[in-house]
Amino acid sequence: MPALYFAEAEYKARLEATKVEMQRLGADTLILSDPANIFYLTGFDAWAFYSPLFLVVSCYEDEPMWIGRFMDAVSARDTTYLREENIQAYPDSFVQSNTSHPVQPTCEILQARGLDRGAIGVEMGAYYYTARIHAEFIKHLPNARFHDAELLVNRVRLVKSVAEQAYMRQAGRIVDGAMTAAVERCAPGVRECDVVAEIYQAQISGSPEAGGVYTTSPPHFCAAERVRTPHGLWTDKPLVNNRPLNIEIAGSRLHYHCPITRTVFLGRPPDGYLRLAEAVVEGLNKTMDSIRPGIAAEEVELVWRRSIAKHGFEKEARLGYSIGLGFPPTWGERTASLRPGDKTVLRSGMAFHCMSGLWLEDTGIAITQSFLVTDSGNEPLTQFERQLITKP
Amino acid sequence: MPALYFAEAEYKARLEATKVEMQRLGADTLILSDPANIFYLTGFDAWAFYSPLFLVVSCYEDEPMWIGRFMDAVSARDTTYLREENIQAYPDSFVQSNTSHPVQPTCEILQARGLDRGAIGVEMGAYYYTARIHAEFIKHLPNARFHDAELLVNRVRLVKSVAEQAYMRQAGRIVDGAMTAAVERCAPGVRECDVVAEIYQAQISGSPEAGGVYTTSPPHFCAAERVRTPHGLWTDKPLVNNRPLNIEIAGSRLHYHCPITRTVFLGRPPDGYLRLAEAVVEGLNKTMDSIRPGIAAEEVELVWRRSIAKHGFEKEARLGYSIGLGFPPTWGERTASLRPGDKTVLRSGMAFHCMSGLWLEDTGIAITQSFLVTDSGNEPLTQFERQLITKP
């Protein structure tokens, strides 16, 4: 028996919600390739998405159908509730071949089930739905009409269930531990890679009651000159004194993510930098005070924008984004963003990473907060203090 | 001054080799989106590819042009040799927007440079070249003819330079250390996640002279029932006695990967399992003895196939694949494979992971070897003993 992460009834409810959206789009069939969406609807959990991997949802079937590389079908049996007939595979000879493509046998499977015709939704902008895959589907399914169903399931994922919220709280505790380990290890002369090694150790070992899994993205560990960059890579050089260092990491509990960013300053920060930190913390705190069900995403951003403007700062980038389930390359759900023009109304059960950071010409700072929207306000998912961390 | 990983002359040589292939394809311009190819030609190194990111190579320009999200342009300045005019960015409002797409401003940049017309090569099947991106290019570049240039740069990457080989040897030493750490920590009662945490710690801290960076894929850590699956995820359950456990990991030195897989058996293996291990080790050793410049990829596979057939085994999956530079989601270069029909002739400087493993109905085993092809034979990239690891 597979060890499912959620009750079967929860998977069924997710599938029904997906079918409602399919009907709204006018799609008979949905071919998913976003690994997070495949995981969400079935529980499928293996590093299989580097070969073409699909989940086919038919409005007229009670279960979706998994189609992937033959060697990963065992993982589909181990991790999903799907019946054997709904686990279909293509032979290894199609993998990274110069003369054939996995979509060919995939289409034969669809044909045998009568799923090769009608209105088919595909995730046009999903990371692993390549231009080649789409071209092959068009070639091999001449009786189908294709619709863009990108983000259809991502939007169903916006409001988290009680069970999902529990995993996100565990992810929060994991990342609090990882950030604590990082801060403890940071000191002048310690190699950046040795601090990052501690972060990984803490992210994966997790807590006694809940271990961690890989996160969608590596730590963004930006020291020295790289403090001006948001997504820089660590080096194996030693940390130096009197410089800020930005650490953005997540905890992942069964692929549910909770991110956090903190700036660590080794030495005594100059007054100007302390004022920058105060402006960011004040903006973050005011923003968090504003978050409750019913407020729009763009209104949240406006609270932050006004607060930092009083100190003479402006942030071009969005202030935050919806979080939850994630597979590489991003823990953002790619649906709602805290930014001007995003009119998404916050509802209880949604989760966001408030990315309150500023990257200026010569420096950077980030003190951020992940949170759940609750019935009456919000619940921070991490407990790490909202301050510039200084290590004199 | 950016800290380049390679001499500028090496980047120039890679660009020239790419231009030769472009001319063979008949492309005036190449739009790359595979992060490994972008890194290969420029050194660009940041976690930026989750937003559309392109490198544009023109046959008529001496430098390629980087186009990405505005906040990552700083990383382009920090990590590449490109001149300021060749680092171009689109505003943050285009990122994960419901109303616009980053390809719009990208095409305006191309137009301003006169690169919006003629024969343009794109990487149709590259992971981050989505169907949506391709559709947007077609829409916004009406004067261009598109050609599939997938793997064009990957093929240039097949033969590694002296400097690349040095990084791969460092990656080999890193992964030898990580496997040693894993085996030491494995014992009945130890949680799987705690062993994996040790692996990460060793992968990232690396050695005193060379730290590690993230690998393209997490450890495949397949214990208990999951030993039957090649790409399974660890759990937070304790390891149990009298069971095999497969660990597939890589070391990554500045994105150059060296993978290895070993099976660890806790307790005394049954005789049948020991015979399975002997067959795999014998097959691997014979295969390694056959590897020299001039042999074809499919001939290498045949050595293995014949050797294991004598013991009554067969492997459907390919025996191995080209390795080197890699970004998520795979450390395979997606060019040459050790399998029937692949006529790639091995040349000095190529590198492969010989994936000598067998996954059977009820168990699995993998004892593998990464190697460089040398002028006279081959050089193993890891020193870890080619044996089933038993911990009684």
CA-to-CA distance for A114 and A59, rounded, in angstroms?
13
Q: How confident is residue A109, by pLDDT bands cut at 50, 70 and 90? A: very high
> Chain A partners of B218 at a C-beta cutoff of 8 Å?
47, 213-214
Interface of B with A in 121-150 (CB under 8 A): 122, 124-135, 148, 150
A201 touches chain B (CB under 8 A): yes
Mean pLDDT of B364-378: 98
> Chain A partners of B233 at a C-beta cutoff of 8 Å?
45-47, 213
Closest CA to A38 of A285, A326, A383: A326
Determine how many CB atoms are found less than 10 A away from the CB of residue B183: 17
> Chain A partners of B132 at a C-beta cutoff of 8 Å?
124-125, 148, 150
**Contact (Cβ atoms closer than 8 angstroms) between residue B255 and residue B210:** no
Is B130 within 8 Å of A124 when comparing Cβ atoms?
yes
ipTM of this complex: 0.97
pLDDT higher than 90, residue B96: no
pLDDT higher than 90, residue B392: no
Q: What percent of chain B shows pLDDT beyond 90?
A: 96
Q: Which domains does chain B have, with CATH numbers?
A: 8-156 (3.40.350.10), 162-391 (3.90.230.10)
Closest CA to B111 of B53, B70, B56: B56
Of A72, A101, A201, the CB nearest to B200: A201
Report the DSSP beta bridge partners of residue B359: B364
Summarize pLDDT for B199-230 with one digit per residue, the tens: 999 999 999 999 999 999 999 999 999 999 99
Q: How far is A148 from chain B (nearest CA, A)?
A: 9
Of B48, B71, B124, the CB nearest to A130: B124
Residue A291 burial (C-beta neighbours within 10 Å; 0-12, 13-18, 19+): buried
> Chain A partners of B220 at a C-beta cutoff of 8 Å?
47
Q: What is the pLDDT of residue A96?
A: 86
Is B75 within 8 Å of A214 when comparing Cβ atoms?
no
Q: What is the pLDDT of residue B80?
A: 98
Is A201 within 8 Å of B202 when comparing Cβ atoms?
no
Matching residue, tokens 């320009």: B61
pLDDT higher than 90, residue A98: no
pLDDT higher than 80, residue B1: no
CA-to-CA distance for A61 and A19, rounded, in angstroms?
10
Interface of B with A in 45-64 (CB under 8 A): 45-50
CA-to-CA distance for B189 and B236, rounded, in angstroms?
11
**Contacts with A333 (C-beta within 8 Å, 6 or more apart), sequence order:** A36, A154, A157, A158, A321, A322, A323, A324, A325, A326
Summarize pLDDT for B250-265 with one digit per residue, the tens: 999 999 999 999 999 9
Summarize pLDDT for B237-252 with one digit per residue, the tens: 999 999 999 999 999 9
Q: How far is B306 from chain A (nearest CA, A)?
A: 19
Q: How confident is residue A99, by pLDDT bands cut at 50, 70 and 90? A: confident
Q: What is the pLDDT of residue A65?
A: 98
Q: How far is B131 from chain A (nearest CA, A)?
A: 4
Is B95 within 8 Å of A318 when comparing Cβ atoms?
yes
Is B233 within 8 Å of A128 when comparing Cβ atoms?
no
Of B71, B131, B339, the CB nearest to A317: B71
Can you give the three-state secondary structure of A216-230, one letter per residue? CCCCEEECHHHHHCC
Sequence letter at residue B318: R
Size of interface A-B (CB pairs under 8 A): 218
CA-to-CA distance for A326 and A35, rounded, in angstroms?
8
Q: What percent of chain B shows pLDDT beyond 70?
A: 100
Q: What is the pLDDT of residue B3?
A: 83
Mean pLDDT of B78-107: 94
Q: How confident is residue B118, by pLDDT bands cut at 50, 70 and 90? A: very high
pLDDT higher than 90, residue A345: yes
Q: In chain B, whose CA is at the least distance from the CA of A50? A: B329
pLDDT higher than 90, residue A97: no
